[in-house]
Amino acid sequence: MDNLKRKLAATVATGAILLFNATPALAGVSCTISGNGSDTDNDCDFTTSNTVNVVQNNDADVDNDVDVDANTGDNDANDNTGGDVEVNTGDVEVDVTLDTAVNTNHASVNNTGDQDFDLEISGNGTDSDNEVDVDVTNDVDIDQDNDADVDNDVDVDADTGDNEAEDNTGGSVSIDTGDIEAGDSIVINTMANANSAVVGSGDEDEEGTISAMITGNGSDSENDIDLTTLNEVDIDQENDADVDNDVDVDADTGDNEANDNTGGDVEIETGDADVNVMVDTTANFNGAEVAGGYVGDVDLVLDGNGTDSDSEIDLDLTDELDLDQDNDLDVDNEDLDVDVDTGDNEAEDNTGGDTTVETGDTSGDVEANTSGNVNVFGDVDLDFDLDLSDLTDLLEALLDLLT
């Protein structure tokens, strides 16, 4: 018995992973104006700006074209005289696996402005002019884009039939074809387009605190604390996936002919044909998590300042989040064609014995699963119905090779 077994596998992985977990450039601000004499002019002016700009783009164009022709049939035993004629074909086993994993972006930015501010104006003399001015800006801009175009074209022709035993004289004629096995073995897995962005540590113990005190300053003094913070997070995540799955499977143990034989029994017995096709498409996941209440405790004190003093604490704390998550998924599974045949056999015009045609069993299962277009804001967890763990493992292995 012949055994023809073909396995084909294609794996593609592309992605960008950014792990920006640096400690914030500014952990805390402390400014104290204290113990200065009368008629003095004292200023503490502090300005800082932290900007993180992340751009991650992936564009994947994958064409998988597989053509498998496995044939133990198409045999002829004709015009023989004086003995038995037997055609016995081997089995055919076909395995085709296409794994495509493309386009993953991950950015983790721990630069969120959860600083501590300790600002104090105290104990300054008469007619002094004291000012603390702090301006802090933190800007995180993450842009993640994926574009995947995947074409899977699989053509499998497995044949143990199409045999002839005709015009034989003087003995029995037998055609016995082998089985065709492609069960659970024509598998197309496509995983494409995942964006993950995490901004901030999410640790409440790391929330910033504000302490602003104007106390014990002399008469006619002018005392101002002005604190302005602006935390901006802009996340733009886009996925576009176009997946075309075209599968054509023709499994045939039939189409055998045993005609016009004389002198013995005629028997055609075909093998079984079992074909299972699994097509899984998983595409387009966006996950964004923005963690951290930037300010925890706020302690403001205006106390014990002299006659006719002018004291003011001005806080302007602004947090802005702009999140845009878009998915566009086009999956075409219309061309899944499976033809499983053990019939179409002929045993005609035979003389001299019994004629038997016995066909094998057929099994043809096609399953197509599509999951996609998931947007999550909050706790980012890849353990959804959309499981991209295999894709993540592939990308980590790729990075290991590159480093």
Domain residues of the chain, as ranges?
3-402
Q: How far is CA 111 from CA 196, 232, 291, 321, 322, in A?
A: 16, 11, 11, 14, 16
**Amino acid 134: pLDDT:** 93
**Amino acid 6: pLDDT:** 35
Number of other residues whose CB lies within 10 A of the CB of residue 233: 23
SS3 call for 39: coil
Tens of pLDDT along the chain (403 residues) come to 333 333 333 334 444 444 444 334 456 789 999 999 999 999 999 998 888 999 999 999 999 999 999 899 899 989 988 889 999 999 999 989 999 989 989 888 875 556 789 999 999 999 999 999 999 888 999 999 999 999 999 999 999 989 999 999 988 999 999 999 886 678 999 999 999 998 876 555 567 789 999 999 999 999 999 999 888 999 999 999 999 999 999 999 989 999 999 988 999 999 999 999 999 999 999 989 887 656 668 889 999 999 999 999 999 988 888 999 999 999 999 888 989 999 899 988 989 888 888 999 888 888 889 988 888 887 665 443 444 555 555 445 544 544 4
C-alpha 20/C-alpha 106 separation (Å) is 10
Contacting residues for 107 by C-beta, under 8 A, at least 6 apart:
18, 19, 20, 54, 56, 142, 144, 196, 197, 198
Q: How far is CA 98 from CA 11, 86, 145, 278, in A?
A: 7, 39, 25, 11
Q: How far is CA 64 from CA 3, 230, 235, 366, in A?
A: 26, 49, 34, 19
Torsion sign (Cα): 380, 384, 388, 393 = positive
C-alpha 21/C-alpha 107 separation (Å) is 9
**Amino acid 108: pLDDT:** 86
**Amino acid 16: pLDDT:** 45
**Amino acid 401: pLDDT:** 47
Which helix (H) or strand (E) is 399 found in, with range?
Answer: helix 389-402
Q: How many residues are present in the chain?
A: 403
Q: What is the dihedral of CA 23, 28, 29, 30, to 10 degrees?
A: -140
3-state percent helix, strand, coil for the chain, nearest multiple of 5: 5, 65, 30
Strands (E) across 110-221 are located at 116-122, 129-159, 173-176, 180-199, 208-215
CB 271 within 8 A of CB 253: yes
